[in-house]
A and B are shown apart, each in its own frame.
Chain A
Amino acid sequence: AQRVTQPEKLLSVFKGAPVELKCNYSYSGSPELFWYVQYSRQRLQLLLRHISRESIKGFTADLNKGETSFHLKKPFAQEEDSAMYYCALMNNAGNMLTFGGGTRLMVKP
């Protein structure tokens, strides 16, 4: 069975502070992991995926297979980063995502 855990339901930081949203997974196969973001009143949208190794809106995430983690980081948080962030794991068939419970990020001015 595959499982994704996001230990923090809420993360509150001040503008300009570093941000790290934690994600741990359990999966017996080769993991493919994603971060999705949901801004207020907007659809769930893909932020980044580990196979792309890209930086989107200043966010990065590194897959650590030894620690089974895929934490999302940003060195300097902005107020517009306030949103719900979901870590997700895709199954081997590539047609199903298992989501973590989500972390609400609040960036205070």
Chain B
Amino acid sequence: KAGVTQTPRYLIKTRGQQVTLSCSPISGHRSVSWYQQTPGQGLQFLFEYFSETQRNKGNFPGRFSGRQFSNSRSEMNVSTLELGDSALYLCASSLVGTGSGNTIYFGEGSWLTVV
């Protein structure tokens, strides 16, 4: 079974631009979540989607948004990019996304550099 796949793997953007990152969860998984990983702040939760609905959101500005499609694929968007948005963005998926015993699996991430 294929793991969580993310595209693109690497990208460079200019300040002020926007970026869209894509994620395909493990087949059958309906919950998709996103995390930001930076050397300074570590791994931080961005948001989680289940059945196309955002169920949980981390403490990030409104420039960070996401969505989930009916096939469980997800995208996240960052508008008006700032230098501090340079990070590894991780997508994760789980089967049902709720309750005890839920296991979350991670993709390899999308490396975003803002110049």
Which A residues form the contact surface with B (CB < 8 A)? 32, 36, 42-46, 49, 51, 86, 90-91, 93-102
Contact B43 A32 (CB under 8 A): no
Sample (5) of A-B pairs whose CB atoms are under 8 Å apart: A46-B103, A86-B43, A94-B98, A95-B33, A96-B56
Given contacts A93-B99, A96-B56, 16 further A-B contacts (CB under 8 A): A43-B106, A43-B107, A44-B90, A44-B106, A90-B102, A94-B94, A95-B31, A95-B48, A95-B50, A95-B97, A95-B102, A97-B43, A98-B45, A99-B43, A99-B44, A102-B42
Majority DSSP secondary structure for residues of A touching B: loop
- Residue B3 is within 8 A (CB to CB) of chain A in the complex: yes
B100 at the interface (CB under 8 A from A): yes
Residue on B with the closest CB to A32?
Answer: B100
B8-40 to A contact mask, C-beta < 8 Å, 1/0: 000000000000000000000001010100000
CA A48 to CA B4, docked complex, whole Å: 19
* 8 Å CB contact of A99 from B42, B55, B103, B108: B42
Q: CB within 8 Å of A: which residues of B? A: 3-4, 31, 33, 35, 42-45, 48, 50, 55-56, 58, 90, 94, 97-109
* A33→B56 CA distance, assembly (Å): 19
Taking a contact as CB atoms under 8 Å apart, the answer to whether A95 and B56 are in contact is yes
Residue of A36, A43, A90, A100 touching B109 (CB-CB under 8 A) = A43
A44 to B33, CA, bound (A): 14
Q: Tell me the minimal C-beta distance from A95 to chain B in angstroms.
A: 5
C-alpha gap A99/B36 in the complex (Å): 11
Given A43-B107, A49-B103, A90-B102, decide whether A96 and B3 contact each other with a Cβ distance below 8 A. Answer: no
Contacts of A96 in B (CB 8 A): 33, 45, 48, 56, 58
Top 6 A-B residue pairs of the complex, sorted by shortest distance between their CB atoms? A99-B43, A94-B102, A44-B106, A94-B98, A43-B108, A94-B99
Cβ of B68 to closest chain A Cβ, rounded Å: 13
Q: Smallest Cβ distance from A29 to chain B, in angstroms?
A: 11
